Amino acid sequence: MNSVKNTSSSRDRNKDSIINRFRRAMIFGYIVTVVISSVIVGFWSRHEVYTAAGKDLSLLVDMFKSVGTFVLEDVRPEIVAQDVFHAPALSPVVATKKVSDHLLKIQPDYYVKTTSDNPLNPTNFPEPLEQNILKQFRDDSDLKVLIQEGTIKGRRFLTSSRPSVSKASCLECHGGIDKAPKEIVAAYGSDSGFNYPETGVVGASIVGVPLANLKTVILQRSLTAAGLVALLFGGLFLMINRLVQRLVLRPVAGITEMALDVSGGNLDREIIMERKDEIGELANSFELIRRSLVTATNLLYKQRQKKQGEPQQK
């Protein structure tokens, strides 16, 4: 009996129990699920945030172009007819610059600019990214909207751009310098902003939002998703853990205890489990073994008694 108990104790110390392996598997599954879900949510959030930001930026660009069209078609003819010079009322570029300056006072994180490599206003000369944007519009005449990432003045932006195409009305101010209004030449000089072509891309309207802001939103969404996965997985882990212990591990431990008791010589203890599944079949199998041992033991006992009752041969 002591030998059986010692063997059992040694096995308890060294065994890798099912519940421990189950818990390790659940923890591993949790880690893998969190990592995979975080990656998926990160990509999905990035796509959604960038798409939404791109739409908002495109809306702003269209708004600025609408301001320019309003000046060009609705305000400028009246001003010209009155022979009055007022730059914001005559030039769509100046008007959009004034509007963007007011917008940036409210939304300082945005980047707004109407750029040209031949501007009247020197502040509208393009940055390297804007030069690339102008090149893309000139290389592809069918390109009407361009959304891309880039660095402007050391900051990363998601930008949305529209091309500015030269028209006949543009040449009134940007044609030959000899035909330009004297007020424009006096205000901006004669070094740049003239001799525009009759058609073609002469500039671009660009609006940008800092990528740091978008990445913060993406990180927040990813962390939220990871937290929800952790919460759901934690609840699922606790539920499955309790079910496995109640339905599998405890019954198996009970069968093991009864089997060890039988192997220790206690053949009177019945192994009974009222279940009609694999665990019940296992208990019934041990009970059949116990009954076979009882029958065999009784048979051996009777044979021994019979031999002891026989007279010894001389």
Q: What is the pTM of this model?
A: 0.60
Q: How confident is the prediction along the chain (314 residues), in pLDDT tens digits per residue?
A: 444 444 444 445 455 666 677 778 878 877 887 788 778 877 887 888 888 888 888 888 888 888 888 888 888 788 878 877 777 777 787 888 888 889 889 988 899 998 999 998 888 999 999 999 999 999 998 999 999 989 998 888 999 999 988 888 788 788 888 887 787 778 788 888 889 888 899 999 999 988 877 778 778 877 787 788 778 877 887 888 788 888 787 888 888 888 787 777 777 777 777 777 888 888 888 888 888 888 888 888 788 887 776 655 54
Q: What's the gap between Cα 152 and its chain centre? A: 26
Burial 185-206 (b: 16+ CB within 10 A, else e): beebeeebbbebeeeebbbbbb
Report whether 92 contacts 69 (CB < 8 A).
yes
Q: What is the rounded CA–CA span in Å between residue 93 and residue 71?
A: 9
Closest CA to 90 of 163, 170, 168, 165: 170
pLDDT at position 1 is: 43
CATH 3.30.450 fits 38-220, yes or no: yes
At residue 8, the pLDDT reads 47
Q: pLDDT at position 4, please?
A: 42
Helix or strand run (H / E) with residue 50: helix 18-70
Please tell me the predicted confidence (pLDDT) of residue 311.
Answer: 58
Alpha carbon 259 to its chain centroid, in Å, reads: 53
Q: Can you spell out the DSSP letters for 51-106?
A: HHHHHHHHHHHHHHHHHHHHIIIIIHHHHHHTT---HHHH-HHHHHHHHHHHHHHH
- The answer to whether residues 159 and 233 touch, using CB atoms and an 8 Å cutoff, is no
Q: How far apart are CA 207 and CA 160, in angstroms?
A: 5
Measured in degrees and rounded to the nearest 5, phi and psi for residue 157 equal -130, 155
Please, are residues 111 and 159 in contact by the beta-carbon 8 Å criterion? yes
* Distance, first Cα to last Cα, the chain: 39
* Residue whose pair of structure tokens reads 């392996």 in the numeric block: 21
Could you give the count of Cα atoms lying within 13 Å of 59 in the half-sphere of its Cβ?
A: 6
Residue partners of 75: CB distance under 8 A and separation at least 6:
89
Domain ranges across the chain: 38-220
